[in-house]
């Protein structure tokens, strides 16, 4: 499968992108009036069944149709053919706003995440729970030295099929089923998660209203991971002395994202938080990824 390869560091790519100020961000996102309260906003109410349908039928099925009918698509080509609005967006990193193409967004995010994962190699496997199309997992793989296996677990059948198409020449990639709302989440996965793996989620736990945080943490720790990473928006990591931070917090708040996991991680006696790198926003200037890294206290 054709890959979006770029050997430059994420900082090199980032510094070449056009820069804008915080004041200019309303020109790149429709969210500011909602965040400032001048336009009313209510997130759509979805039952779990409707959310499932939305992912499987409205998001992943058209993407899968594209991947099946095009011999060697890149992720950017596949996403942009189904969602033509995904062109460039205002992103935030290194305390700056810059305009990035969708392709560069995927690439830089993969490089940033890989830089964090790299600190904890060697590990037998890198495991993503809720891996979607594999866009993040394969982008991390692209930026790591060979060695670990990559395991992408995802509940939606069409997304797993897309991952299979994109990884068919990669013997080090295994795809399986998971559901973070059941215990253990990898019950339907036929293989074992290797001891000492690096396990992460990316933009997944925040959408799961019914997540039992205590059980989730205990299930993850039961695999004896080397490290666990939440690439998720945790507003609890942000101070209140920056206008951008306040906008981010408002964004999380008005969208009613699931927010209990951060507290559960912080207060869990079996966990040591080992690394926090906060503050990147990709695709949407005020929707951030924190990078919270933790692990079993007795191992880390």
Query: Interface residues with ligand SAM (CB under 6 A)?
Result: 55, 129-132, 135-136, 154-156, 159, 178-181, 202-204, 207-208
225 near 69, Cβ under 8 Å?
no
CB of 297 to ligand SAM, least distance (A): 26
Give bridge partners of residue 99 from the DSSP assignment: 90
CB of 141 to ligand SAM, least distance (A): 13
CB of 115 to ligand SAM, least distance (A): 16
Nearer to ligand SAM, 31 or 203 (CB): 203
Structure tokens at 48: 């779990």
Question: In sequence order, what are the residues at sequence separation of 6 or more whose Cβ sits closer than 8 angstroms to the Cβ of residue 249?
Answer: 235, 238, 240
The 8-class DSSP code of residue 43 comes to: P
| Cα–Cα distance measured from residue 120 to residue 296, given in angstroms and rounded to the nearest whole number | 13
CB of 167 to ligand SAM, least distance (A): 14
The 8-class DSSP code of residue 192 comes to: P
Nearer to ligand SAM, 26 or 284 (CB): 284
Bridging pattern class, strands 88-93 and 198-202? unpaired
Nearer to ligand SAM, 110 or 148 (CB): 110
Nearer to ligand SAM, 20 or 181 (CB): 181
Tracing tokens 């059980």 back to the chain, one arrives at 215
| Cα–Cα distance measured from residue 115 to residue 140, given in angstroms and rounded to the nearest whole number | 9
141 near 173, Cβ under 8 Å?
yes
Q: What is the end-to-end Cα distance of the chain in Å, rounded? A: 37
Nearer to ligand SAM, 47 or 240 (CB): 47
CB of 158 to ligand SAM, least distance (A): 9
Nearer to ligand SAM, 130 or 148 (CB): 130
The 8-class DSSP code of residue 19 comes to: E
What is the SS3 assignment for 132? coil
Give bridge partners of residue 202 from the DSSP assignment: 231
Nearer to ligand SAM, 97 or 282 (CB): 282
Of 87, 117, 118, the residue nearest 104 (C-alpha): 87
Of 282, 247, 239, the residue nearest 26 (C-alpha): 247
Nearer to ligand SAM, 135 or 226 (CB): 135
CB of 139 to ligand SAM, least distance (A): 9
Kind and range of the H or E run holding 261? helix 261-267
CB of 208 to ligand SAM, least distance (A): 6
Q: How many CB atoms lie within 10 A of CB 292?
A: 24
CB of 56 to ligand SAM, least distance (A): 8
């Amino acid at each position: 499968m054709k890959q979006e390869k770029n050997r430059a560091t994420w900082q090199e790519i980032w510094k070449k992108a056009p820069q804008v100020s915080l004041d200019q961000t309303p020109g790149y996102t429709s969210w500011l009036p909602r965040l400032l309260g001048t336009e009313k906003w209510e997130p759509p109410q979805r039952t779990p069944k409707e959310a499932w349908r939305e992912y499987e039928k409205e998001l992943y099925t058209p993407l899968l149709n594209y991947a099946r009918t095009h011999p060697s698509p890149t992720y950017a080509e596949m996403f942009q053919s189904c969602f033509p609005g995904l062109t460039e967006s205002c992103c935030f990193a290194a305390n700056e706003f810059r305009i990035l193409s969708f392709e560069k967004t995927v690439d830089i995010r993969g490089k940033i995440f890989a830089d964090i994962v790299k600190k904890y190699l060697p590990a037998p496997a890198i495991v993503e729970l809720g891996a979607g199309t594999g866009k993040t997992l394969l982008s991390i793989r692209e930026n790591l030295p060979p060695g670990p296996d990559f395991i992408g677990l995802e509940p939606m059948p069409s997304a797993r099929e897309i991952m299979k198409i994109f990884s068919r020449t990669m013997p080090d990639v295994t795809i399986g089923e998971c559901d973070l709302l059941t215990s253990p989440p990898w019950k339907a996965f036929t293989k074992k998660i290797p001891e000492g793996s690096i396990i992460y989620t990316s933009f997944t736990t925040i959408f799961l209203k019914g997540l039992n945080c205590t059980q989730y943490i205990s299930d993850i720790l039961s695999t004896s991971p080397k490290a666990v990473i939440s690439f998720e928006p945790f507003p609890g990591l942000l101070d209140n002395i920056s206008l951008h931070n306040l906008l981010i917090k408002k964004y999380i708040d008005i969208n009613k994202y699931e927010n209990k996991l951060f507290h559960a991680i912080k207060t869990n006696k079996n966990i040591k938080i080992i690394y926090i790198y906060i503050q990147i926003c990709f695709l949407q200037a005020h929707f951030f990824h924190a990078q919270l890294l933790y692990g079993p206290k007795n191992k880390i």
